[in-house]
Amino acid sequence: MAKYAILSDIHANTEALTVVLAKCQELEIDKYICLGDVVGYNAEPRECLEIIRSLPLVAIVKGNHDDYASNSDDEMEGFNPHAKKAVIWTKEQLTAEEQHWLAGMPYRATVQGTNITIVHATLDSPENWGYIFDAHHAADNFTYQFTQLCFCGHSHVPIAFCKKPISSMSEKPIEEIQGWAYKFEEGLFPKDVTEADCLPVELKTGFKYLFNVGSVGQPRNRDPRASFAVYDTEAKTVTRYRLPYDIPSAQAKIIAAGLPERLALRLETGN
């Protein structure tokens, strides 16, 4: 029996990562899984790499920012100008050894001795960096999922789906798990979200699950809190945690590094 912390899209945000790992220590996490994009966007890629590499990792996969920060492609087709500038800046910060480590990560992996598959983007074509936003996209992913659980990231928007067993197939064999994706109540704004909370999901025998765990370092679901998940094999639950962190400090580092101001501003609104 074990507790696995699943972290994704840290994006060089030490403030967010530090808070997440403090919570993991409180939760007595045994092992760590990283879904990629340790670097990119924010101002401390080397610091975050050092922290991630020091953890008892059982698996890690490559994100698109990890990929571009460790290869020779400076065109980065499809990247917006702010993301592109951040990747070029990140390349200049990393040592050759760090880039080699990032380049060596796989695109997808099955965690040995578990019922877990991980990928940054999608299982069907992980190197193409597609997104999973709805049940249609989830269906494509489930076709390539041979374990009960699959964890992904990339979109920075948490969402989860379950696939029912054949014996209980209904008109909707794949359904979104309500509650996993946080919805703001009317009148509530990102700046008002200051408390930590969690969203547990009980795992049912015979069902398959696909969880996008959201982003540690740059959330985009209008919730600026750092997001990550914990899989508890004994309790048979997957729980998403949302934690406030020191956003002004992360913003100040982005500005001091000469990175685009937009990358700093978006942290406080979570979009």
Domain assignments of the chain as residue spans, ordered by start:
3-269
User: What's the pLDDT at 57?
Assistant: 97
User: In angstroms, rounded to a whole number, what is the distance separating the alpha carbons of residues 68 and 74?
Assistant: 8
- Residues 231-242, mean pLDDT to the nearest whole number: 97
| Distances from the Cα of 215 to the Cα of 37, 79, 101, 240, angstroms | 10, 18, 22, 11
Mean pLDDT of the chain: 93
Q: Are 205 and 148 in contact (CB under 8 A)?
A: no
User: What's the pLDDT at 170?
Assistant: 60
Give 181's pLDDT tier (boundaries 50, 70, 90): confident
Q: Write the CB contacts of 2 (distance below 8 Å, at least 6 apart in sequence).
A: 30, 31, 233, 234
- Residues 141-153, mean pLDDT to the nearest whole number: 97
Give 75's pLDDT tier (boundaries 50, 70, 90): confident
Whole-model pTM? 0.94
Nearest CA to 153 out of 19, 7, 271 is that of 7
* Greater model confidence, 186 or 154: 154
Third-level CATH fold of 3-269: Purple Acid Phosphatase; chain A, domain 2 (3.60.21)
Quote the tokens at residue 200: 């547990």
Q: Are 37 and 120 in contact (CB under 8 A)?
A: yes
Residue-wise pLDDT tens digits, 183-235: 555 555 666 667 888 999 999 999 999 999 999 999 999 999 999 999 999 99
Residue-wise pLDDT tens digits, 225-236: 999 999 999 999
Give 176's pLDDT tier (boundaries 50, 70, 90): very high
